[in-house]
Chain A
Amino acid sequence: MKKKDLGLLVLILVVGLGVYLQNPLFLSPNNIANTANLIGLFGLFAIAQGFVIITGGIDLSAGSMIALLGVLFVDIVGNRGVPWPIAFVIVIILGLLLGLAHGLLITRLKMPPFVVTLCGLLIYRGVARGYTGDATAGFPFGSTYPGLDFFTARIYGVPTSILLLLVVAAIAWVVLHRSVFGRYLFAVGKNEEAARFSGIRTNLVIGAAYVICAGLTALAAIFFAMYTRSVSPSSHGNFYELYAIAAAVLGGFSLRGGEGSIIGVVLGAILLQVLQNLVNLLGIPSSLNFAVMGTVILVGVLVDQQWGAYRARRLLAGSARESGAKPTPPDPVPER
């Protein structure tokens, strides 16, 4: 675990302890399970976002994609009677295809990721609303789908979403921090030109990052749809891309690319959910939710940067003293 991640963990523990002292309900099994469930859901697409940010890109379409794919999943299963495993596969493949489209537009046609995914944000939201005629998509009254309970189930009280997050995070950690592909992601994010000059197929690497991102987001979309049971296409998943970006930034990702860790982004996602929980449990009006979150992120990143600058100065001053202490021998070369 890096120092940065450790700092974030300490922050989470301090905030958690504060909330607990104010309201002991924070550590009640039910609250923990609820928060864990949300962490699982948000963590999934925060990791997804991390894969794109590491390349120096961004995916602004995550929230809209969660709405569109959620609407489709509920509609396919609930209204068209397609068995849920088939619907599951269709939605995931659809997600991967959207990611592939992003990747191709960005790498082949050289469009800026910001523009491509911003248009995705608008298009997917619009299509989701148009598909249902702005009506909420839900399962028919009284219908049950035994297999689907899996998505919201709790195994010995532990939500399946957080278990899935643990599995995904572990795989993502190996991929990003230990695999050849992960090294390529860092290389492309740090300096795409130099990576290309080293014989790396940079377009392939960047494209793959967008496909992975959209695939994981599609997985999160299904969990979200099952969590809310009904999907209102105009509000479902609003701003979720910003949660993901915030989690990544908190977790030490650089928006210029080439920096970040999976542990960091997961901790970032945890902190955001703990803050949500804090607003609820401390009786702060929920309308202030975003204000609290924004303030904490701002202060967190500020402290981190200032601390980094302070350490760099100390290091510089320390070594200057060391070398200054050495006596300098006189110049042996006579003048002219």
Chain B
Amino acid sequence: MTAESADAAQQESAEPAAAQPFLRLKGVRKSYPGVQALAGLDLEVRPGEVIGLVGENGAGKSTLLKLLGGIAAPDGGTIEIDGVSHTRLSVSQSIAAGIAFVHQELNLFDNLDVAANVFIGREPRRFGCLNIVDTRRQRAAVAPLLDQLGAGFSPDTLVGRLSLAQQQLVEIAKALSQQARLVIFDEPTSSLPIAESEKLLAIMARLSRRGIAVIFVSHRLTEVQRAADRVVVLRDGRLAGRLTRAEISHDRLVKLMIGRDLKVDYAAPKTARGGVALALSGIRTAAYPRQAVDLDLHRGEILGLAGLVGSGRTELARAIFGIDPVHGGGLSLDGKEIAVRSASDAVGHGIFLVPEDRKATGILLDFTVAENISLPNLDAHASNWIVSAGSERRQAEASRGELGIKVPDVATLTATLSGGNQQKVVLAKWLAMQPRVIILDEPTRGIDVGSKSEIYLLMRALADAGVTILMISSDMEEVIGVSDRIAVMCEGRISGILTRAQFSEENVLLLAVGNRVVP
């Protein structure tokens, strides 16, 4: 059977699993200084199948994607496409083979319209040597693709005006226009609200029905379970296991990922919550200047802040921490009104923020672990304005032991740490001071299951020690598992507060879309 007839046969076939693989990795190896990222991996991709790819951070997922995209070259093994075997792929070979990516961080040009983004680098031309971009043809080609995806916007919309979910659709349209045979989604849902994630899963299914293979990388195991025909689990650069659709279960996935049984440990509170520590009265943010937020945070409680993306949770956190100016209202801490006009003021009052975007705002990647930990508290490590490296190191060593930061030396650059360990560094810098209120914005996004549990335990220990914790999270399991109370935001206001007895996914969702909870 020739490749072409095989292709045709697959497209007619209703059962994709019967198709022959068009992409086959054999014994692929790749190492980076000090790390064996992939240690002999075999993988087959058949047309029209949806493969879930899971694994802890550092399991080798991103390396695998880099090899498929032609960004990195394997040290050994072969990559076979339609029976032709390659020792490595170049970027253009990867594109020619029909491999397309929808990345977590989108690679789109905000300042160009949808059609221009889809055709970037291969614009249709006219007027011969004048090389004028044929925008009409470009738009005409993109419109049907957007229709297929059920996108409600036109090809001449500026990409900067689109929501994150809509921008992902543009990336998918781009993949379709390149005749993609394999679309790789790299954590596409991690920053999407729940309703949008659902749509994306539906689109994956639609791609698969058209004979396009999908690799779905995600930390959200529930979604993997629902979307994938089969799951490939990586651990330490090797195949830890493969599960067919029937075998996929949350427990089995976790067990394969970490190599042992693990229940995410949420730890119940040991102490009852105390009086009101931080009170927000009538806080208005720039995002929703007409909505005044009132909220009491109690000493020793973990208050979950749920809501859809764009409901104003991050803006509220930034306002409390003094990053953005408030448009009205005030804060009081332990009954006393406080003025917070800058992050420096907030830090002075013992109000700390662990921001959503760890790499851009949480830590300095080019600073060492010790330098990051001491940064907000540098005066304490200095006498006469001269920083004592010894004092910094002692603090960092103590934090390393306390939080279990996995790093050979505290003088290591933070950029080389895994996401979970970087998050621990962010926590360490605040815990080294006297925290009264800690705001955590998506504290475990992109973090592996093991580190997640450790972070939950740590949060609980802090709350038990009398620290007030406000946790913003879009992860439903996390919100319900960790929180003592859940405040839900909708369009800039607090649409309701749930106590433990009322906790359920349904109730959180009802409030998130602005409905009332029926008791």
Contact = CB atoms under 8 A, between A and B. Distances in A.
B366 interface: yes
A190 B364 CA distance: 7
B33 A198 contact: no
Which of B346, B363, B364, B365 has its CB near the most chain A CB atoms (within 10 A)?
B364
B344 A201 contact: yes
A319 B33 contact: yes
B29 interface: yes
Given A190-B365, A198-B375, A200-B376, 10 more contacts: A179-B382, A180-B385, A187-B367, A190-B367, A194-B364, A196-B361, A198-B347, A315-B33, A316-B32, A328-B36
Given A197-B355, A336-B244, A323 B323 contact: no
A264 B344 CA distance: 32
A195 interface: yes
B286 interface: no
Contacts of B363: 194
B410 to A, nearest CB: 16
A195 B34 CA distance: 30
For the side of the interface on B, what is the size category?
Answer: 35 or more
Nearest to A196: B343
A190 B36 contact: no
28 contacts: A179-B386, A179-B387, A180-B378, A180-B387, A181-B385, A183-B371, A190-B365, A191-B361, A191-B366, A195-B364, A197-B321, A197-B353, A197-B355, A197-B362, A198-B375, A200-B343, A201-B342, A258-B366, A319-B33, A319-B34, A320-B75, A323-B31, A324-B75, A326-B36, A328-B29, A328-B36, A333-B241, A335-B242
B508 interface: no
Closest 9 CB pairs of A and B: A199-B347, A319-B33, A323-B31, A198-B376, A197-B361, A199-B376, A198-B375, A199-B344, A180-B378
Give the interface centre of A181, A194, A315 by most chain B CB atoms within 10 Å.
Answer: A194
A112 to B, nearest CB: 19
Interface in B291-336: 321, 323
Given A181-B385, A187-B364, A196-B343, A336 B375 contact: no
B379 interface: yes
B364 A191 contact: yes
Nearest to B352: A199
A67 B238 CA distance: 67
B31 A197 contact: no
A38 B91 CA distance: 53
A326 B39 CA distance: 11
Contacts of A323: 31, 35-36
Contacts of A315: 33
B238 A331 contact: yes
Nearest to B358: A194
Nearest to A312: B33
B221 interface: no
Interface centre among A184, A198, A323, A328 (most CB of B within 10 A): A198
A162 B163 CA distance: 59
A191 B519 CA distance: 48
A178 to B, nearest CB: 5
A134 interface: no
A326 B429 CA distance: 38
Interface of A: 174, 178-181, 183-184, 186-187, 190-191, 193-201, 258, 315-316, 319-320, 323-324, 326, 328, 331, 333, 335-336
Contacts of B343: 196-200
Contacts of A179: 382, 385-387
Contacts of A197: 321, 323, 343, 353, 355, 361-362
Contacts of B32: 316, 319
Interface of B: 29, 31-36, 39-40, 75-76, 238-242, 244, 256, 321, 323, 342-344, 346-348, 353, 355, 360-367, 371, 375-376, 378-379, 382, 385-387, 429
A331 B378 contact: no
A319 B31 CA distance: 8
Contact of B387 (A183, A190, A258, A320): A183
Contacts of B31: 319-320, 323-324
A199 B360 contact: no
A257 to B, nearest CB: 11
A323 B367 CA distance: 27
A324 B231 CA distance: 28
B319 to A, nearest CB: 14
Contacts of B382: 179-180
Nearest to A191: B364
B242 A336 contact: yes
Contacts of A186: 367
A214 B42 CA distance: 62
Contacts of A196: 323, 343, 361
B366 A194 contact: no
Given A180-B378, A199-B346, A199-B347, A331 B360 contact: no
A116 B240 CA distance: 58
B443 to A, nearest CB: 15
A194 B387 CA distance: 20
A323 B321 CA distance: 46
Contacts of B348: 199
From B348, B365, B375, B379, residue with most partner A Cβ within 10 Å: B375
B439 to A, nearest CB: 11
A18 B424 CA distance: 54
A316 B386 CA distance: 37
A178 B387 contact: yes
A168 to B, nearest CB: 17
Contacts of A326: 36
B386 A328 contact: no
A180 B377 CA distance: 10
Nearest to A184: B378
A328 B40 contact: yes
Among B342, B347, B360, B379, residue most surrounded by chain A Cβ atoms (within 10 Å) = B342
Contacts of A184: 378
A320 B342 CA distance: 47
A186 B321 CA distance: 23
B366 A190 contact: yes
A174 B348 CA distance: 27
Nearest to B348: A199
Contacts of B353: 197
B361 A174 contact: no
Nearest to A323: B31
A194 B36 contact: no
Given A179-B387, A183-B378, A191 B360 contact: yes
A333 B240 contact: yes
A200 B375 CA distance: 8
A195 B365 CA distance: 11
A333 B385 contact: no
Contact of B386 (A174, A199, A200): A174
Contacts of B34: 319
B240 A194 contact: no
B233 to A, nearest CB: 9
Given A180-B378, A335-B242, A336-B242, A193 B386 contact: no
A204 to B, nearest CB: 9
A194 B361 contact: yes
Contacts of B239: 331, 333
B386 A198 contact: no
A312 to B, nearest CB: 10
Contacts of A320: 31, 75
Nearest to B237: A328
